[in-house]
Chain A
Amino acid sequence: MELNHDWRGFSAIFNPRRRSSAKLLAGETTVAPSSTVHIIADGSIILAAQSADGEDFSRWHGKSVEAFFDAYSGRELAIIDRKQADQKLTEALALSHIHEQAAFFRDESTVRVISRGKSKIQTGVDASAASHHFLIGALQGWWAKILPSSYGFFIRLEEAATAASNNPMARVSYREIFVLIRRGRLVLFHTPDLTSLGQDRSRAPAAVVKYLSEKHAVPVQGLVASADDWAEWSELGSDSLHARAAWKKLAVAIQSNEAQLVPFRWQAMTLIATRGFFGF
């Protein structure tokens, strides 16, 4: 059965799991977290708190914002009123999948930002703070103005033999996803059902791209890369400071035939290279 919104497949490709837990734990103990702390408060009582650094603030639930502010006086706080959060949660129910719902929360939430003793009201969270996958971020950024209103892209990640052998139940040597975008919105994402293509044709990326393009009546751009390379680019790209490096590595990989654009389009290559070498 083909799911329209295959979140597991989407996460596996666009939000790959961090590689080393030891590195993560070590990082948390040596580097002082500095990101904005987002808080949902009922009056002055904290109901939930989160930061991009993944700190566990659960012991603060039920305590006052003032006490929290005293304890984290150097940090920027973004406070959302509970009633507003409830309202946004209810309004977002009409949206079809969690990616859209999360974008809605980011765009529509009104937060009170407290930083260095100053307070201001702000609607919408800075998109640059949102650590999209570098590719999704680009597609929903200014590229959206020059790309077709409807198109799809297909990604195939080939897994190294060692990775597959480590997995006793490995059943495919590659992982795939097809994403359909209409007017800048992700309307469909799933692992495409290619069984009607036959085994041989479904292995050929060009045939798959052609099939998907005909099936959805949109232009489709394919990308074939190794899973290891993709994981490395994704980890780099998750940090906005290093996103340019990720694009550069992708461009170099395409140039050296380690990754493949299917079909090869100069326009797509130019966009990738521009991001990689000039940063926009």
Chain B
Amino acid sequence: MGGGEFNTTTNEIIESTRTSAEFPVQILVNYWEMQVPLIGNRLDELLLSGVRHVTSFLPWQALESDISHTLVRFLQGISERNMTVSLIVSPEVGIHYPNSGLPKDILGKTEAAAQSIERGPIVIGLPPNQFAIPSLLSSDFTKRYYSFIARVDSLLADFEKTQGRPLNFITLVLTGSLWKYYRPSTRSSSSPYFGACGDYSANAAVSFRQRLDDFYSHAEFTESSPSAANRWKTHEMERINRAWFYQQCEAIFRNRTLHFARRRAKSVNIREIELFTPEADPSLTYSYFLQSLSSSRRGADFERLSGLVDEAASVGSMGSQSAAVPFVHWSTLGGFRALSDSERQFLVLKSLLLAGGCGGGVLIDEDEWLSFSRGFRNRVEKFARAVDRGDLRLRNEVLYLCPHLWSGPGLWSSVFRKAGLSARKISSLDWVEQGANQEALVLIVDPSLVLTRETVQRLLRWQSQAADRVLVLPRSALYSDGARALLDSVGTSRKIEISLGVSYRLQPLGTGKLVVYDPTELDPTRDLSGPEWDKFFGAVTALAEVEDPIRASDARLSLIPLARRDQSVGLFILNGTRGSVSGDILFPTSVSISDLMNELSSNAASRDVKAGAGAPAARRFALDVPACGVLPLSVDRVGLGTRSDNRAADQLGALGKANSLAAAAAELPGLGTTGEGGEASIWS
């Protein structure tokens, strides 16, 4: 890992968690792992160490069998000490409780178990015991689950009464639960999110059929004739329909959970996140199976865990009220624990940068956190503070709208290859409309998305809301009649048909562009990427003036560019291998670089003099990155080059031109601006 001077103490690091329940590094202290009479002592110790905010899971089974009222005593202790707490309530994996806290009687019912597309159980291989995850569409499950959430709500409401004060020190954290884990180990083992993700149990089949009929009974699909809806329900459409079905089910689950969680305890804060537990991913189940055979005590899953962190940052998940920011949870129950110190540090830092850069962060067990060296914790703390104040942020320039976040990849591979970490995979237009996510310049619609009139309306509205936006739509058969008519109505006479590998139509739309492309395949679970698509997305991103991402000459190096408030870039160069790597970093424009750690360590005054303190300006820099190293650089552009700078220059130029024309028109009779298609000829 790269070096740096650390001036803060461990207490300061931990103290930083008290500022907010949203700090990017959350320390996990599970209440049920404490002995009831010792809860007070334990909290006192934490308080003395400077910890004022803790996070705990709230396992379903633990709450139902909590005869000694451990949770209430824990909350009482938190309240008495003026601490704050986040309680993660949804069923999740990677919890240090039998069956990850899911009730044993539900798991015991085979009819309530989820099934992958291969019609087998989906086994989570983490201690304390391997178990098969249940179907969130099973009525047995849902009845009990919503009762559990209501019980949590009642418990908190009663606690509020006894406290006699608002419970604003408690944050209930709702997650996306098990939906993203409905993937078979076989297909996930080579690429985690390639292929179909979804519950194929009998419960899900019944629910799917009902939802399908409901969805396509809408007038939009039956306008031409009542039987017109049948073409949407054919066997060939099953994959396409299942994709939106699972996404809708997840949204309904989130909505209902929120509804039940805030019926009585109104003063409790609620936060929605997307919790990723890479160690519990089904893609690692076979790996854990083999570890028990080979009795390996050394971690062999480093690369896969690292890849799963990449996946966590690439999706933009939507909660029922707000965007669900990603949090990466290192449970230390699985492969993470067996890794070397440097590998674990690498993963924690990478998680912080990627998930934190999207507004989330990393959730880590207290003992694990304290097992890291003081220097490392200081370093993480510095980055976390910068992330917390919005100084290190991943940009969302290119959005890929797909029917289901956890199935894929469709065209995502090509999009990601072109736009890198500035691309985000989303499944909800609500996410796009969130304040922080409105900076996108390109929105690409997956060819397997069923497009209704409302969806097209919202897409066009998004395109018109800011200058120079590019909307990329498929020319597929998955438009409703209304949607197709709406799209046809926005067409102008100036269209260009292009065929360079991928055929597409380009037309101006407002100040931006509309691109309508011909998809080659409609199956959402197929990988459609290829050189022709790379070329196509290259052209599309160029239209929107999305800058080429910074690249490394050696594929073993990965780069995380994070936007800073002063318009510079915090560039993190990661070497996720067990040997040092030498390589070049290639920038699209001339830049000067300096040490980011020094900047973050120094005070605001000295930050102003950073310019010129680093290496001379260039477009290519050579460097060595040690094994499992993360090098932080501050990158400043030299001269004009950013899109915003160019746009400002264009606007100034246009203004100057208009002023000159106005002045000339006043002085020179006969001067006019005529021409076709808005093109001005200066002199008549």
Contact = CB atoms under 8 A, between A and B. Distances in A.
B290 A48 contact: yes
A209 B129 CA distance: 28
Contacts of A28: 578
A125 interface: yes
Contacts of B97: 3
Residue picked from B42, B51, B97, B129, most chain A C-beta under 10 Å: B129
B289 A88 contact: yes
Contact of A4 (B34, B98, B302, B338): B98
Given A7-B128, A62-B190, A17 B337 contact: yes
B341 A38 contact: no
A169 B366 contact: yes
Interface of A: 1-8, 11, 15, 17-18, 21, 24-25, 28-29, 35-40, 42, 47-59, 61-62, 78, 80, 82, 85-86, 88-90, 92-93, 95-98, 101-103, 105-106, 109, 111, 125, 129-132, 167-169, 171, 193, 195, 238
| Chain A contact residues: helix, strand, loop or mixed | mixed
A53 B129 CA distance: 24
B342 A25 contact: yes
A187 B290 CA distance: 23
A35 B129 contact: no
Contacts of A5: 98, 127-129
Contact of A47 (B10, B189, B338): B189
A89 B122 CA distance: 10
B35 interface: yes
A203 to B, nearest CB: 14
Contacts of A61: 189-190
**Which 5 A/B pairs are nearest by Cβ-Cβ distance?**
A54-B298, A21-B340, A102-B292, A48-B286, A50-B290
A97 B303 CA distance: 27
Given A89-B130, A168-B10, A169-B46, A54 B286 contact: no
B249 interface: no
B186 A82 contact: yes
Contacts of A3: 32-33, 96-98, 128
B297 interface: yes
A38 B293 contact: yes
Nearest to A86: B120
B11 interface: yes
B326 to A, nearest CB: 22
A80 B299 CA distance: 21
Contacts of B98: 3-5, 97
B370 interface: yes
B62 A1 contact: yes
A96 B129 contact: yes
Given A1-B32, A58-B304, A101 B286 contact: no
Contacts of A193: 35
Given A50-B287, A93-B123, A15 B303 contact: no
A131 B341 contact: no
Interface string B95-128: 0111000000000000000000000110101111
Contacts of B337: 11, 17
A4 B128 CA distance: 10
A125 B294 CA distance: 8
Contacts of A49: 290
B428 interface: no
A97 B129 contact: yes
Residue picked from B121, B186, B287, B290, most chain A C-beta under 10 Å: B290
A56 B307 CA distance: 13
Nearest to A51: B294
Interface in B13-71: 14, 32-38, 41-42, 45-46, 49, 51, 62, 66, 68, 70
Given A86-B120, A89-B130, A58 B303 contact: yes
Contact of B66 (A1, A15, A48): A1
Given A1-B62, A15-B297, A195-B37, 18 more contacts: A1-B66, A1-B68, A5-B127, A8-B367, A48-B287, A48-B290, A50-B296, A56-B301, A58-B300, A89-B123, A89-B285, A90-B121, A92-B130, A106-B292, A109-B293, A111-B293, A171-B42, A195-B36
A238 to B, nearest CB: 6
B303 A7 contact: no
Given A21-B342, A48-B286, A86-B120, A101 B35 contact: no
21 contacts: A7-B333, A29-B579, A38-B294, A48-B189, A49-B290, A50-B291, A52-B294, A52-B297, A53-B298, A54-B298, A62-B190, A80-B290, A89-B125, A92-B130, A101-B129, A125-B293, A130-B295, A131-B295, A168-B49, A169-B46, A169-B49
